[in-house]
Structure 1
Amino acid sequence: MRVWAVANQKGGVGKTTSVVALGGLLAESGKRVLVADLDPHGSLTSWFGYDPDRLEHSAFDLFQHKGKVPEGLPAQLLVETSCKGMSLLPASTALATLERKMVGVEGMGLIISRTLAQLWDDFDYVLLDNTPSLGVLMVNALAASQRLVLPVQTEFLAMKGLERMLNTLQMIMRSRNNPLPYTIVPTLFDRRTQASTQSLNALRKTYGDDVWRFAIPVDTKFRDASEAGLVPSMHSPDTHGVRAYRRLLDDLLIQTGGRE
């Protein structure tokens, strides 16, 4: 099992779209894929037609057992998606209460790691969609992951969010026994605007080889895919946005040893 977290401490940068697009392409290639929603807003859950306000069971259930994960519980929480080969661990809005409820409970930062340990033989890839804030959910995701995909919108305000995220990453890495490699992925790139081009250049100048060599463009078909409840490669397989995610996946697989 390979576990990738998709995270940034700024909202609206394309985290959920990246999870669905990359996960869909992996499933399309025959991989068994789990996408996990660790955001109380539940955008990933909503993408596939589930209502985070009405779900009886969700990722929230994993955090209700004093730092333990009962045997068999993770598998019981998974639901189907419209994409063959892809399962979903849904979110509910109750996740927003975790910070208040979990104060002083030991082992809360390893719940997702323990969850995935039970599912290790069931999936080839797990992609974790994250809340845009530092807390128990993001700590869980980073602790469980082998790779961080860090989407950054190509606008100057997004640079501050990236700076905060990298500071968080350094803090988390000090508590890990092994490093967490990351790839900064420029998103929502519009080559027609000077601001977008300048922001992309600034990203590359500041962060060098940590920035992916291409960018994910603005593509309205992503929104259409979300409304249809489909992964982008099923909805509109030949758009420039999907082609960009194919290129990104190829590079990530090379970096992580997933493709010879």
Structure 2
Amino acid sequence: MTIYTFFNHAGGVGKTSATRDFGYELASRGHRVLLIDFDPQGNLTSFLGADKWKLGPDSTLLGALLEDDPQGVVRRLPPTIDVHGLSLYPATIDLAIAEAQLIAKLGRERRLANILTQLPQPYDYVLIDSPPSLGTLTVNALVAADALIAPVATRFKAIDGLPGLTRMVSELGWVKPGLGFAAFLPTMYDQRNRHDSEVLEMIREQLRSLAPVLPAVRYRAADHNDASMSGQPVQVYKPGSEAARDMAQAVSAFLALEGVPS
């Protein structure tokens, strides 16, 4: 089982939809995939068609996170939601309770990592959608990962935020030595826009020394926004679209880096 956290402390980079579509693409190729919505906003949950308003705190990882007996975590794990060939631990606003209460808990940074050692069934990949904030939940999501996948929007504003992104990951070496990036995923790309093309080149030049830069995912509001509103991966909502093809290429490149047949 390999655990990747999708992380960027900046909002508006397409992180949640990238987590969803990346996970779906892996599952469509025969891999067993667990998605974890670790953001109390619950956008990944909604983007997969689960009704978070009908879910209570017992549906999330809240109880397992706050369990004081490390060996008792498995008793607090809720059943996953099966959706679009994926397993999902959903999130609701109740998960925000953990943000405050974990502060006083021993091993607070490693709570999610411990949970993932006690999953009731095996997975090939676990993908975590982290909050955009820099709080305790985010640290848990980062420490639990084997490596990070960072969606980076092809905007100059995103370039300005890269030093902060890499510095935070470096500082987490105090808690998780060796944590680093598995790949960067350029998002929100419009190849018709010279600005986007220039920024994409800057992303490749600045980041390739840290980790591979995957093929860019083009942004089409009619595909990505409507897919999210319909609660479907973009490959399900609009198969054969540019958005679907781009994610397929990104996942193929990623699996090639891992040495896994795509």
Same fold, TM-score > 0.5, yes or no: yes
Give per-residue Cα distances to partners, 1:38-73, cap 9 Å, x unaligned.
111110011123344542121222222237352243
2:2/2:146 contact within 8 Å kept: yes
Cα distance, 1:62–1:216 mapped onto 2, change above 3 Å: same
Structure 1 residue 160: deviation in Å?
2.9
Q: What letter is aligned with 2:134?
A: L
Q: Which runs of 5+ in 2 are unaligned?
A: none
Q: How many residues align?
A: 257
For 1:215 and 1:105, locate their aligned partners in 2 and report how far apart those are by CA, in whole Å. Answer: 40
Inter-partner Cα distance in structure 1 for 2:40 and 2:157: 24
Q: Is the 8 A contact 1:232 1:242 kept in 2?
A: yes
Query: Displacement of 1:120 after TM fit?
Result: 7.0
Matches of residues 109-188 of structure 1 in structure 2 within 5 Å?
Answer: 109-119=109-119, 121-188=121-188
Q: Which residue in 1 is equivalent to 2:108?
A: 108
For the residues of structure 2 that align with 1:204 and 1:106, how far apart are their CA atoms?
Answer: 40
Scaled by the length of structure 2, the TM-score of the pair is: 0.89
Distance of aligned partners of 1:177 and 1:257 in 2 relative to their CA distance in 1, 3 Å threshold: farther
Counterparts of 2:108 and 2:13, CA distance in 1 = 27
| Residues 196-230 of structure 1: CA deviation (Å, up to 9, x unaligned) | 22221222232235351521111231222222222
Show the counterpart of 1:71: 74
| Counterpart AA for 1:71 | V
SS at match of 1:87: strand
Is 1:94 aligned to 2:94, yes or no?
Answer: yes
Q: Deviations over 1:137-166 (max 9, x none)?
A: 121111111221100111111123322111
Q: Are 1:80 and 2:86 matched, yes or no?
A: no
* Residue matched to 1:218: 219
Q: CA deviation at 1:130?
A: 0.8
Determine if contact 2:6/2:130 at 8 Å carries over to the other structure: yes
**Quick check: 1:23 aligned with 2:26?**
no
1:239 to 238, 241, 246: 241
5+ unaligned residues in a row in structure 1: which ranges? none
Given that 1:53 and 1:93 are in contact with CA atoms closer than 8 Å, whether structure 2 keeps it comes out as no
Moved over 4 A (4+): none
CA distance in 1, matches of 2:214, 2:230: 30
Q: What's the TM-score once normalised by structure 1's chain length?
A: 0.90
Say if 2:14 and 2:151, in contact at 8 Å, map to a contact too.
yes
